[in-house]
Every structure is written in C-alpha cells, then in structure tokens.
Amino acid sequence: MEGLSVVITLAVVVVVVLSQTVKIVPQGSKHIVQRLGKYYATMNPGLNWLVPFIDSVAYKVTTKDIVLDVPSQEVITHDNAVIIANAVAYINIVSPEKAVYGVENYTIAIQNLVQTALRSIIGEMALDDALSSRDQIKAKLKAAISDDIADWGITLKTVEIQDINPSPTMQRAMEEQAAAERQRRAVVTRAEGEKQAAILEADGRLEASRRDAQAEVVLAKASAAAIEVVTEAIKNEELPMVYLLGEKYIQSLQNLSSSANAKTVVFPADLPEAIRGILSR
C-alpha cells in the first residue's frame, strides 16, 4: 500500500510539473511569460516550454483585429452647435508586451483618445461641415491617434464615424429654421410674381396708351385731310357748308338723345338758319 501511495504521489507531481512546463498557445493568441515576476518572453502559437514554478503566463493577448466601440458623446462645433457623435476603431496588437506593460488598459485608453481627438476635430468645424465631412474627420482622427497607440505596440487599422447627428434640441431648431426659410422663399416668390404681373399690366397700359395716341394722330391727320378736301370742294359755296354742318349737328343731337341722362331733345324749327347763326359767330 505504501508503494502504491508513492507511485500515485509521483504521478501527481509529474502531471503538475508537466502542466507547468508545457504550454500550448492557440492560433490567434500570444502569451506573455514572466520569470519571477519580470517579463521574460512572448510565446507564439504552438508548443512552448516553461521552467516550472519559475516561469508563469501573466497575460494572454489576442492577435486578431479588435473592434472597439467608442461611446456616443456630445460635441460642440465651431459655431456653438451641439452634435452627438460616436465612432468605431479597428486595432491590431503587434507587440503584446508593449500593450500589457505600456498602458494599464489599452481598450479604455484608446476609447478616450478617440473621444478626445473627435471633440478637438469637430470643435474646429462649423455644423454644416461637420455633418457632411465624415471622410475628412476620419482621416484627421486616424492621424491624431495612430502615433500615440503605436507606442503601446498597437496598430490602428481604421476608424469609422458611425453616427454624427445634431442633438434633439438642434434638430428642432434646424427644422424650425428650414420651415422659416421655406416660408420666406414662398413669400419672395409670391411677391416676385405680383411684381411681374404689375409690370406686365403697366406695360400693357403703356402700350395701349401709345396705340391710342397713334390712333388719335392718325384720326387727326385724316380729319385734316378731310377738311382740306371739303374746303377745296365747297370753296366759297354756302350751301354745301350748311349741309355738312347740318349733318354733323343732327348726328350730335341723335347721340345726345340716346344718352341715359337725356330726357327731351328739341330740334330747332329753322335748322338752316340755326346753322347760319353758328357759322356767323
């Protein structure tokens, strides 16, 4: 029985020693080895050997690309507008020993760097530029933090701006501004239409007046020509003159009788004598 106990004890010791000596690192990971509390080596994927009870695996670091979600935050633009922005960063750890020994928590550190740089970049831009310049913000953001995280053995693969939107208060203000601008344009359009209509109406009156004046000139010339013809025809004859004036006189009386205000029209008894009286004046 004592021999069996010794064998079992030795077997347990061997298993424990082997577990402390042989380490298998999976693909996509690297392990940080410390010897007596000090960094000793970085184990690559595969079979690795340690000095039992002296060496220990302190950190297990992934070598795959890591996606870091940067929380949303309020950012004030250059023209004092408040917008809400967040981002996502894709990183890769190329030097695990620098990542674990260079910073306390590289995840939180990178998130804070992205947030700080994002506030600084957007703070130099106007609201309209910030909302329409994602590629420009992305390029500046990548340049701002790449050198800082390189000291931690981390490479920034890319950084994307997920959302960049005005705050709810700013959205309401922008909607009110847009509505006011649409109303202003409608008023301007209506006023412009009324102006053009007034101009066209004035042009129409001007053209009508011009044509009326031309017609008066034509009628005046026609009357002058008619008078010349009549004068040449009657010469010193009294009877044709009396006839013509009598005709005009009768026509005038007829027009007067057709007027709505005319009640009674009296014709002179001796019309030729009345016309001679008019001519003698």
The pLDDT of residue 91: 93
pLDDT tens digit sequence for 242-253: 656 666 666 666
pLDDT at 257: 65
In this prediction, residue 89 carries a pLDDT of 92
Residues in the chain where the model's pLDDT stays below 50: none
Instruction: Measure the CA–CA gap between 251 and 28, rounded to whole angstroms.
Output: 119
Query: pLDDT by residue (tens digit) across 199-247?
Result: 888 888 888 888 888 877 777 777 667 666 666 666 655 555 565 666 6
The alpha carbon of residue 262 and the mean position of all alpha carbons in its chain are separated, in whole angstroms, by: 73
At residue 27, the pLDDT reads 92
The residue extents of the domains of the chain are 20-62, 66-171, 187-234, 236-281
Q: Which CATH number fits domain 66-171: 3.30.479.30, 3.90.79.10, 1.10.3210.10, 3.30.499.10?
A: 3.30.479.30
pLDDT at 113: 92
Contacts of 249 (CB under 8 A, 6+ apart): 271, 274, 275, 278
* pLDDT for position 164: 85
Which pLDDT score, from 0 to 100, does residue 108 have?
92
